[in-house]
Amino acid sequence: MDIKSGDTVLIYTPDKKTYLVTVSEGKRMSTHLGELSLGDAIGLEYGSAIYSSLKHSFLVLEPTLEDRMMKVKRFTQIIYPKDAAIIIMNTGIKSGMRIIECGAGSGSLTIALANAAAPGGKVYTYDRSERFLENAKRNVEAAGYGDTVEFKLREAGDGFDETGVDVVVLDLPSPWDGIPAAARALRGGGRIASLSPTYNQIEKAAGVLESHGFVFMETVEVLVRNIRVAYGKTRPEERMVSHTGFLTFGRKALAKARTVTEEPEVESEEPVGAAEEAGDKAEE
């Protein structure tokens, strides 16, 4: 894969720093180890070196998804790649799926969702702040996922335009505000994920999820511990990010799994054909 003008690359310095920059003919970049002519990278294979004015060598790497997520311009706390990874795994997002994200934030999670849904899929991203939404949009476009994402300025409580979506991801201070709309937008068996930093939020959200017909719920937190690997001196790193948020997952059911004896009496009067709807109603 050769580097072209206009490509965004990751410059890796001799002292192991990284910079995300766009390559073009004549563009220069100053570093403490001399000036780089970024045009030198054009036509090289990724992984090659370019040389600074002081003759030091710098590697030109392809940015990974993680690089893209961590380097967005931030107005808000970003979603960490570790959490995005578990959200994508546990909701099963893959190419072709349609996903609603409510709470665009700075767009770092949007980028990860779009990366997993492309090609053929779509991410509908809602935020109530015009400023955040504009910033998220710029970040998503800069990362190359503009075609996969639609941005919508709206409050979570005002509902979503889409129906039959595969996954809804909520990143809201009051996730319960988005749950009724999420339940309506999801297809049967569709998955929901909600991120919240506090115990209070997950406890309240869990109750609202249950009352809106979600089943198979679980809440986790993801801890990634870095290991300092050095010959004869290998050890865990001394400090770590120990909390970003809790992740709650559930699946949209159209009925209830229950034993006969659990069924409230009134339900037995429902006509057979309305069984699913009855199940739904009983939960509200």
Closest alpha carbon to 172 in 194, 198, 200: 194
Q: Does 62 bind a copy of itself (CB under 8 A)?
A: yes
Q: Among residue numbers 94 through 153, which ones bind a copy of itself (CB under 8 A)?
A: 94-96, 112, 115-116, 118-120
Query: Which residue has tokens 């709650």?
Result: 248
Q: Does 266 bind a copy of itself (CB under 8 A)?
A: no
Q: Among residue numbers 153 through 212, which ones bind a copy of itself (CB under 8 A)?
A: 187-191, 197-200, 202-203, 206-207
Report, in Å, the least distance between residue 34 CB and a copy of itself: 9
Nearest CB to a copy of itself, comparing residues 65 and 141: 65
Report, in Å, the least distance between residue 154 CB and a copy of itself: 26
As a whole number of angstroms, the distance between CA 171 and CA 152 comes to 15
Report, in Å, the least distance between residue 130 CB and a copy of itself: 27
Q: Among residue numbers 3 through 42, which ones bind a copy of itself (CB under 8 A)?
A: 12-14, 16, 18, 33
As a whole number of angstroms, the distance between CA 121 and CA 95 comes to 6
Report, in Å, the least distance between residue 232 CB and a copy of itself: 5
Nearest CB to a copy of itself, comparing residues 16 and 131: 16
The HSE-up count of residue 159 (CA atoms within 13 Å, CB side) is 5
Nearest CB to a copy of itself, comparing residues 154 and 184: 184
Q: Does 282 bind a copy of itself (CB under 8 A)?
A: no
Q: 236: cis peptide before it, omega within 30°?
A: no
SS3 179: helix
Residues that contact a copy of itself, how many (by CB under 8 A): 100
Buried (b) or exposed (e) across 72-101, using 16+ Cβ within 10 A?
beebbebbbbebbbbbbeebebeeebbbbb
SS3 38: helix
> Which structure tokens are listed for 104?
């665009």
Report, in Å, the least distance between residue 128 CB and a copy of itself: 21
Q: Does 56 bind a copy of itself (CB under 8 A)?
A: yes
Binding range to a copy of itself, per CB under 8 A, among 22-30, 79-87, 98-106, 128-136: 79-87
Report, in Å, the least distance between residue 83 CB and a copy of itself: 10
Q: Does 216 bind a copy of itself (CB under 8 A)?
A: yes
Report, in Å, the least distance between residue 266 CB and a copy of itself: 16
For a copy of itself, what does the binding mask look like between residues 241 and 260, x meaning CB under 8 A?
xxxx-x-x--xxxxxxxxxx
The HSE-up count of residue 45 (CA atoms within 13 Å, CB side) is 2
For the CA atoms of 236, 111, 191, 166, the dihedral, rounded to the nearest 10 degrees, stands at: -150
Q: Does 90 bind a copy of itself (CB under 8 A)?
A: yes
| Binding-site member from 25, 30, 240, 274 for a copy of itself (CB under 8 A) | 240
Dihedral-angle region of residue 257 (phi above 0 means left; psi in -120 to 50 means alpha; beta otherwise)? beta
Work out the angle at residue 140's Cα, subtended by the Cα atoms of residues 167 and 172, and round it to the nearest 5 degrees: 50
